[in-house]
Chain A
Amino acid sequence: MTLKKTLLASLIGATIAGGALLPLTASAETLRIGYSADPETLDIHEQLSGGMLRFSHLAFDPLVRWTKDFDFEPRLATEWEQTDDTHIRMTLREGVTFHSGNPFTAKDVVWTIERLQESPDYKAIFEPIASAEAIDDYTVEITTTEPYPLMLNLATYIFPMDSEFYTGETDSGNDKAEIVKAGNSFASRNVSGTGPFRLTDRRQGVRVDFERFEDYWDTETEGNVSSIVLTPISENASRVAALLSGGVDFIDAVPPNDLERIRESGDVELIEVPGTRIIGFQLNEEKVEAFQDVRVRQAVDLAINQQGIADRLMRGFATPAGQFSPEGYSGHNPDLVPRYDLERAQELMAEAGYEDGFTVDMIAPNNRYVNDAQIAQAVANMLSRINIRVNLRTMPLAQYWPEYDTRQSDIAMLGWHSDTEDSANFFQYLSFCIDDETGAGQYNYGNYCNEEIDALVTEADSVTDLERRNEMLREAEAMLYEDVGFVMLHWQNLAYAAANGVDIEPVVNAIDFPYLGDLVISR
């Protein structure tokens, strides 16, 4: 009798399990992606870039990841607890395996954090971490040097690597773990992560092939993509054509000029997401004395019609901004909106004694941000109405940055995305008083300096009570708004498009890393 019951139970069990697995196995789908770029390397710590993070989300899993609403979702870490001001304890998921077959444990997390601290690109971001320690196989304790409120933000960057796989020496005697920029290291050619997709073939600049990892831990996901072919198509028109002709199923970075065309096409679907990259201008106070006067800076800000640029030039493809932090960020202050007022701007110029204006140089890239050169042109025209005559020079990205670094121009365009998805990062890089020792104000082109704001943001960064911290950051935004430490334009939107039946809407987000493991295709 018992035997029969057991048999019956296991039969039922098998049926249920089979039923649950059915949607996964029954509809094996290939996703053909046309991204604007392919991953630069396979070593996820070699370079911090959007392309690399997208790759990280395919072949690896982070400890936690961002949801669409900027909350944290557990991935390889299931629980976390701030034990005291400087310690956070994370419980790791059990039963996870790497693509190599090695089991995932706490030592991999510790190894990965230590490697991040060695990486030139991540070193600065991971500076607050003093050490990481494996308490047992599935518990990790991270110690910070000072009270640090953004530990979970950092955890979105911790994609545990297979420490066993990356330990040892290659045939030529090099350390498998070494991080070599633009070099031929083991990690830049071989990969073993825990992610939903296993890399099967890669021809750099031509295509990358992935297959779904058969032992992937997340069996609850409805994602049914069984293999991925990623083709980099850098030319905007070609990428759109590839989608419209059915050559690929999913593209990123739809150019604003093609938005209408894609919206109207019945075969593909356009998904727009408000982005988090702030676009704006920096006024060089070193070169132009007038910009040291807050009234002149305010006049510049008031003379620029952010809404007009967003509506007409960007065709609704941007959200006009009055502050660094986009909605959803901790420091977003809903009161700070663009304040275009040409008359007031002219008055301010007169008050400051610059009624007749002056002539300045402006530089802008022409292939970095969406419509960058046109935006710069429009802003130059707007400034001419308060008698600031602008000589605009635009140039390709490769030449723009060396030019930017010399800080020889009077106004420069810049777009910035916060690596930590947190408001403080904007201030630290763009508006902090320049300090070569600490690296503060590394992108503060105009040498703007307001020590009050700096002090407030610095203090906020050691407050672990997030409510109070957000309050302080909102205050900092308000102060910068008044003082015009950065001329805000807009947050550039993100646009993806996919063939009908490829349901990308739930898996794309404002941070531009589609979670393709969860993508459902129904054709």
Chain B
Amino acid sequence: MIAFLIKRLMHAVLVMFVISVLAFAIQDNLGDPIQQMVGQSVPESEREALRERLGLNDSFLVQYGRFAKNAVQGDFGYSYFYREPALGVIARHLPATLELVFAATLIIVLLSVPIGVYSAIKPRAVLSRFFMGASIIGISIPVFLTAIVLIQIFSIGITVTLFPESTGWGAWLNGLLSTQGSMPSFGRGYDLVHVVGHWDTNMASWDGLKHLVLPAISLASIMLPLFIRLIRAEMMEVLQSEYVKYARAKGISMRRVYFVHALKNTMLPVITVGGVQIGTMVAYTILTETVFQWPGMGLMFLDAINRADIPLIVAYLMIVGVIFVVTNTIVDLVYGFVNPTVKLTGKPA
């Protein structure tokens, strides 16, 4: 166990090192940060002085050496735009992203397990076919489109005049399909509850929750179909296995067979995939957060790219790398608990 954790820690360090080298290597292609910092009529001499002060004229090795020396001491540089340490900026934006990812995960877990299990048990039911069809559509719609459609329907509202308004049934159908739209379409709202440090939560007030709903749904929309299909496929496989047949033959109630014996083994691969996907979801927040102006890391990162805020870009990439390593480690640990036959250190048993 200890050996495993130490090994993973070294992984994390290696990942950070590789990412930082890569990020530094491409920084010249990210654009000129000076251009974003000065007015249009500032003469070249002033620009050059600023470039010199920020150390942008030094060679790659000198710049990287300086960065690495500071990074080892926990200083990841200074964001040009926020005018404060990059790590602090990320820490400030992290809670918003984590809350969003948490809410989306919650939606995925609460929906995918029952739907997946149901459509495995009753593969021919109309509802199962509907879920399968819907999940194919869901998987192919890009997240920003989902987000914009959600905003149009639930925030702005749509007026349907498809049916003749003069007839009673037409007006009724029009009314049924039209939406008022009152959900907030951007930001985290003004009613946040402070928890600790940089963490203000959306989850403790009605207004906060309302702001969270649409972004969480659109973020969940990419992963949900995937998990429904995954759980369904795994469950169907498990239901064919010998031990399930044996349990049924023994006369154990179907309920118990499905939800105690079969589901346990279904969830094993789902946990592995799920852990990796949570890491991916942090990356997907870039799109969701941009559309909803959700002030988390994703939006911060996209803005940083537009502003060529190189220290912040480098720090973000490294932190995301660490998040991947950490989630994978946790997944492996959890997997070990769920399935004790797996040896963490990977030594032959």
**What mask results when residues 205 to 222 of chain B are scored 1 for a CB within 8 Å of chain A, else 0?**
000000000000000000
B82 touches A181 (CB 8 A): no
B66 to chain A, nearest CB (A): 17
B185 touches A238 (CB 8 A): yes
A182 touches B184 (CB 8 A): no
Q: Which residues of B from 167 to 215 have beta carbons under 8 Å from A?
A: 181-187, 190
B31 touches A182 (CB 8 A): no
Among B35, B157, B185, B300, residue most surrounded by chain A Cβ atoms (within 10 Å):
B185
Given contacts A124-B43, A417-B40, 16 further A-B contacts (CB under 8 A): A120-B42, A121-B39, A123-B46, A125-B41, A181-B38, A184-B83, A205-B295, A231-B186, A233-B186, A234-B293, A245-B182, A247-B186, A397-B31, A401-B32, A402-B31, A439-B43
B46 touches A120 (CB 8 A): yes
Contact among A205, A401, A436 for B303, CB-based, below 8 A: A205
Residues of A within 8 A of B183 (CB): 245
What is the bound-complex CA distance between A401 and B31, given in angstroms? 8
B307 touches A398 (CB 8 A): yes
B207 to chain A, nearest CB (A): 12
22 contacts between A and B (CB under 8 A): A47-B39, A120-B49, A121-B41, A124-B41, A181-B50, A182-B83, A203-B295, A205-B295, A205-B300, A206-B187, A231-B187, A234-B290, A235-B293, A237-B148, A238-B292, A241-B151, A247-B186, A367-B306, A398-B305, A399-B29, A417-B40, A442-B44
Cβ-based interface call for A416 (8 A): yes
Residues of A within 8 A of B300 (CB): 205
7 tightest Cβ-Cβ pairs between the two chains A and B = A398-B31, A48-B39, A245-B155, A401-B35, A121-B39, A398-B308, A182-B80
Residues of A within 8 A of B30 (CB): 398-399
Which residues in B have some Cβ–Cβ distance to A below 8 Å?
29-32, 35-44, 46, 49-50, 54, 78, 80-84, 148, 151-152, 155-157, 181-187, 190, 290-293, 295, 299-300, 303, 305-308
B35 touches A238 (CB 8 A): no
A235 touches B41 (CB 8 A): no
What is the bound-complex CA distance between A476 and B258, given in angstroms? 86
Which residues in A have some Cβ–Cβ distance to B below 8 Å?
34, 40-41, 47-49, 120-125, 181-184, 188, 203-207, 229, 231-235, 237-238, 241-242, 244-248, 367, 396-399, 401-402, 405, 416-417, 419, 429, 436, 439, 442-443
What is the bound-complex CA distance between A411 and B62, given in angstroms? 36
A182 touches B306 (CB 8 A): no
Contact among A41, A48, A233 for B293, CB-based, below 8 A: A233
Residues of A within 8 A of B291 (CB): 235, 237-238
What is the bound-complex CA distance between A397 and B33, given in angstroms? 11
Given A205-B295, A235-B290, A238-B185, A402-B35 contact (CB < 8 Å): yes
Residues of B within 8 A of A183 (CB): 83
Residues of A within 8 A of B182 (CB): 245-246
B213 to chain A, nearest CB (A): 13
Residues of A within 8 A of B299 (CB): 205
A248 to chain B, nearest CB (A): 8
A205 touches B82 (CB 8 A): yes
Contact among B32, B84, B155 for A398, CB-based, below 8 A: B32
Residues of B within 8 A of A247 (CB): 155, 184-187
Residues of B within 8 A of A229 (CB): 190
Residues of B within 8 A of A188 (CB): 83
B39 touches A419 (CB 8 A): yes
Residues of A within 8 A of B32 (CB): 398, 401-402, 405
Residues of B within 8 A of A234 (CB): 290, 293, 303, 306
B36 touches A242 (CB 8 A): no
Find the A residue at minimum CB distance from B35.
Answer: A401
